[in-house]
Amino acid sequence: MAADLMSEIDALRNQIDALTKQMPKGSESPAASPGVDAPTGAVGGAPTGAFGLETETVDKIKEQFEGFVELLEKQLQDVPAGTAIAIFALGVLLGRLLPR
Protein backbone atom coordinates (compact mmCIF):
# COMPACT_ATOMS: atom_id res chain seq x y z
CA MET A 1 0.00 0.00 0.00
CA ALA A 2 2.71 2.49 0.97
CA ALA A 3 4.81 1.46 -2.03
CA ASP A 4 1.90 2.24 -4.36
CA LEU A 5 1.48 5.69 -2.83
CA MET A 6 5.20 6.38 -3.03
CA SER A 7 5.27 5.40 -6.72
CA GLU A 8 2.24 7.60 -7.38
CA ILE A 9 3.92 10.51 -5.59
CA ASP A 10 7.05 10.03 -7.72
CA ALA A 11 4.91 9.95 -10.87
CA LEU A 12 3.21 13.22 -9.82
CA ARG A 13 6.59 14.84 -9.19
CA ASN A 14 7.80 13.77 -12.63
CA GLN A 15 4.65 15.20 -14.22
CA ILE A 16 5.14 18.50 -12.40
CA ASP A 17 8.75 18.68 -13.57
CA ALA A 18 7.70 17.91 -17.16
CA LEU A 19 4.99 20.57 -17.08
CA THR A 20 7.38 23.08 -15.54
CA LYS A 21 9.86 22.46 -18.36
CA GLN A 22 7.12 22.99 -20.95
CA MET A 23 6.21 26.43 -19.59
CA PRO A 24 7.95 29.22 -21.52
CA LYS A 25 10.12 31.53 -19.45
CA GLY A 26 10.88 35.18 -20.21
CA SER A 27 12.56 35.41 -23.63
CA GLU A 28 11.67 31.81 -24.52
CA SER A 29 7.97 32.63 -24.93
CA PRO A 30 6.67 32.95 -28.49
CA ALA A 31 5.38 36.51 -27.86
CA ALA A 32 8.82 37.73 -26.78
CA SER A 33 10.06 38.99 -30.11
CA PRO A 34 11.66 42.39 -30.72
CA GLY A 35 9.14 45.19 -30.45
CA VAL A 36 6.46 42.99 -28.85
CA ASP A 37 5.80 43.23 -25.13
CA ALA A 38 5.50 40.07 -23.05
CA PRO A 39 1.97 39.30 -21.83
CA THR A 40 1.20 40.80 -18.47
CA GLY A 41 -1.23 39.84 -15.76
CA ALA A 42 -4.20 41.89 -14.63
CA VAL A 43 -2.54 42.95 -11.37
CA GLY A 44 0.32 45.43 -11.63
CA GLY A 45 1.46 44.32 -15.08
CA ALA A 46 3.30 41.28 -13.74
CA PRO A 47 4.47 38.80 -16.39
CA THR A 48 2.28 35.75 -16.83
CA GLY A 49 3.07 32.20 -17.80
CA ALA A 50 1.58 30.00 -20.50
CA PHE A 51 -1.66 29.44 -18.57
CA GLY A 52 -2.24 33.08 -17.65
CA LEU A 53 -0.83 32.62 -14.14
CA GLU A 54 1.88 34.78 -12.68
CA THR A 55 5.19 32.97 -12.29
CA GLU A 56 5.16 33.76 -8.57
CA THR A 57 1.77 32.08 -8.25
CA VAL A 58 3.04 28.98 -10.04
CA ASP A 59 6.07 28.85 -7.74
CA LYS A 60 3.85 29.16 -4.65
CA ILE A 61 1.56 26.38 -5.86
CA LYS A 62 4.55 24.14 -6.54
CA GLU A 63 5.98 24.83 -3.08
CA GLN A 64 2.63 24.06 -1.43
CA PHE A 65 2.34 20.80 -3.38
CA GLU A 66 5.86 19.74 -2.39
CA GLY A 67 5.07 20.55 1.26
CA PHE A 68 1.91 18.44 1.04
CA VAL A 69 3.86 15.54 -0.47
CA GLU A 70 6.49 15.72 2.29
CA LEU A 71 3.76 15.78 4.96
CA LEU A 72 2.03 12.79 3.35
CA GLU A 73 5.31 10.83 3.21
CA LYS A 74 6.00 11.60 6.86
CA GLN A 75 2.53 10.45 7.91
CA LEU A 76 2.90 7.25 5.89
CA GLN A 77 6.15 6.47 7.68
CA ASP A 78 4.66 7.23 11.12
CA VAL A 79 1.81 4.70 10.85
CA PRO A 80 3.01 1.11 11.29
CA ALA A 81 1.77 -1.38 8.69
CA GLY A 82 0.12 -3.62 11.31
CA THR A 83 -1.92 -0.73 12.67
CA ALA A 84 -3.03 0.33 9.21
CA ILE A 85 -4.13 -3.23 8.36
CA ALA A 86 -6.00 -3.52 11.68
CA ILE A 87 -7.83 -0.23 11.06
CA PHE A 88 -8.77 -1.35 7.55
CA ALA A 89 -10.01 -4.75 8.81
CA LEU A 90 -12.05 -3.06 11.55
CA GLY A 91 -13.64 -0.78 8.96
CA VAL A 92 -14.54 -3.76 6.77
CA LEU A 93 -16.06 -5.63 9.72
CA LEU A 94 -18.11 -2.66 10.83
CA GLY A 95 -19.29 -2.11 7.29
CA ARG A 96 -20.42 -5.74 7.01
CA LEU A 97 -22.04 -5.95 10.46
CA LEU A 98 -23.97 -2.68 10.53
CA PRO A 99 -27.48 -2.86 9.10
CA ARG A 100 -28.01 -1.02 5.89
Q: Report the pLDDT value the prediction gives residue 36, as an integer from 0 to 100.
A: 45
Q: How many CA atoms lie within 13 A of 43 on its CB side?
A: 6
Contact in structure between 86 and 26 (CB atoms under 8 Å): no
Residue 93 pLDDT:
92
Inform me whether the pLDDT recorded for 63 exceeds 70: yes
Domain locations in the chain as residue ranges: 2-97
16 and 62 Cβ atoms separated by less than 8 Å: yes
Q: Give 15-30 pLDDT, tens digit per residue.
A: 888 888 887 665 444 4
- The reported pTM is 0.35
Per-residue pLDDT of 35-53, as tens digits, reads: 444 444 445 555 555 556 6
**pLDDT at residue 31, as a whole number:** 46
What is the DSSP secondary-structure string of the chain?
-HHHHHHHHHHHHHHHHHHHHHS--GGGSTT-STT-PPPB-TTTT-BB-TTS-BHHHHHHHHHHHHHHHHHHHHHHHHS-HHHHHHHHHHHHHHHHHS--
